Structure formats: C-alpha cells, structure tokens
Amino acid sequence: MPGFSMDAAAEQRFNVNLSILFTELPLLERPAAAAAAGFTAVELWWPWVDSPTPERAELDALKKAIEDAGVQLTGLNFYAGQLPGPDRGALSIPGEESERFRANIDVAADFAQSLGCKALNALYGNRVEGVDPAVQDELALENLVLAASAADRIGAVLLIETLNKPESPLYPLVSAPAGIAVVDRVNEATGLGNAKFLMDLYHLSMNGEDLPSVIDRYAAKTGHVQIADNPGRGAPGTGTLPLEELLGRLRKQGYEGWVGLEYKPGDRPSAEAFEWLPTEARAAR
C-alpha cells in the first residue's frame, strides 16, 4: 500500500477514531490498543447509542481507560442515535430524539471537559417524512445554539459535519456550502464564533465535490478534518484520493488542527491498518 512520506506525515496531527477503528475490541480496550499502535490522540462518536445519559459508572470507566492508556481525547460526538446505522443525528428530529439530544448536551460537554477535549461534533439529523424541512431547520438551530453554548462553556468548538448523499440520502447537509451555511447561522445566532466546519474529505469526495476548491474556500472556517480513501472508505492508499496532497494543501491554507482517521480497517485487525503512516508520525507533536 502506498504510504505518506515521513516529511508530509510529520506536518499533520493524526488521531484515531475509536468508533470505526479497533471496533473488534470492547470499548474500554480501544484506547490502549491505539496507544500500542503508536498514537497519542483519539476521538469518538457518542459511544452509548441507546443512551444519551449513561450511568456515571460507565462514563467514569471510559474516562479511566483513556487516561490509563495515556492518550488524549481530541473529539467527541454528541448523541446522534444509532451510529453507525440508519439514523444520522437527532437534534433536528422533533419529539423524543430531539429531547434525547438536549438531555445529552451537558453530559457530553462535561465528559469532554473532564478529559480536556476541545471539539464537540453535532450531527444535524435526517429529514423526517411528513415534517416540514423548515420546521426541522428551526429546531436544529435552537438545539445547535444550546450545543454551542455548552461547548463555549468548556472552551471547545462546535463542529458541523456534512455527510454524503449515497450513504445518507435523508441527511440534508451533503455539500460543503450547506455545512458552512449552518456554521454561519449558528455563529450569527450565538455571537460566540465557536461553530466550525468538520471537513470530512471522504464524504465530500463521495458527493463529487472539487476538494482543492473546498479546501481553498473553507479552510479558515474548518475546526476538524477527517479522512478515509475513496472508493471503499478504507485506509489511505486503498483508493484513489490524493490524501497526502490534500492535507498538504490544507496546511498551506493555514489549517493546523487534528486529522481524524475515520476509515474502515478492512478484513484485518485494526492494528494492521496503519502501514501507510510512518510509526514516528503517529504520536502527536
């Protein structure tokens, strides 16, 4: 598999998404597995898909596993329903799901704060049959304002992510401009300026966007980057995306934040899915 050059890799700060990599292991064993593979930073989707407010003992156990592994939590999703699965987000879905999202806001923010995590990701939510999209958008803005305030309370950014239409056909944010428009609306509503774009190069490529143009236009509003190759959502080098070049372009545009490894390991243990990345470049500097 083609790899990143050491010079190019050394310019980036990589973390591992423990909700898509190392999932062959129990949740509490994943931080240590990432550390054993040479990484010093991790991120997570909300780990308790059935509970926006898990028992304190569960929160404490995960916190201890992360601390004991000696890795830094750099990103955390708010509750977003069944992820992975048919659901994509909860905050714009009227009724129980929206209420579950609201119940999760302070729980997620407090957990992130306890580990020094400075980025909280809020998935927008699918369109719902029979509900006016404008009603969903109004509800989404209300909940994103609450989420941005909670993120601000802990000194974090609120991330707004675009997905891709082929895999998430009911998700309304399937282009970079759509995601940026929500970022701008939230910042205008709160005056906090802490809403940022989550630039997922895999999802954007699946939507057929011009990635160099997206980078040039929106790097300044980007708070986090995630990568996987396309096609297949595998490790860099398994598809055709020029990820080394694209990340270099982001750096030239001034992006110095984290790059989350959010790809599928394929038919092998996750620990074997990092040969593209020199070992010396896995520890964040």
Catalytic one of 161, 209, 272, 275 = 161
161 is known as an active-site residue:
yes
Catalytic one of 262, 272, 275, 280 = 262
262 is known as an active-site residue:
yes
Calpha distance 92→182 (Å, rounded): 12
Q: Which two tokens stand for residue 70?
A: 């000696």
Q: Helix/strand/coil (H, E, C) string of the chain?
A: CCCCCHHHHHCCEEEEECCCCCCCCCHHHHHHHHHHCCCCEEEECCCCCCCCCCCHHHHHHHHHHHHHHCCEEEEEECCCCCCCCCCCCCCCCCCHHHHHHHHHHHHHHHHHHHCCCCEEECCCCCCCCCCCHHHHHHHHHHHHHHHHHHHHHCCCEEEEECCCCCCCCCCCCCCHHHHHHHHHHHHHHHCCCCEEEEEEHHHHHHCCCCHHHHHHHHHHHEEEEEECCCCCCCCCCCCCCCHHHHHHHHHHCCCCCEEEECCCCCCCCHHHCCCCCCHHHCCCC
Q: Active-site residue numbers?
A: 161, 262
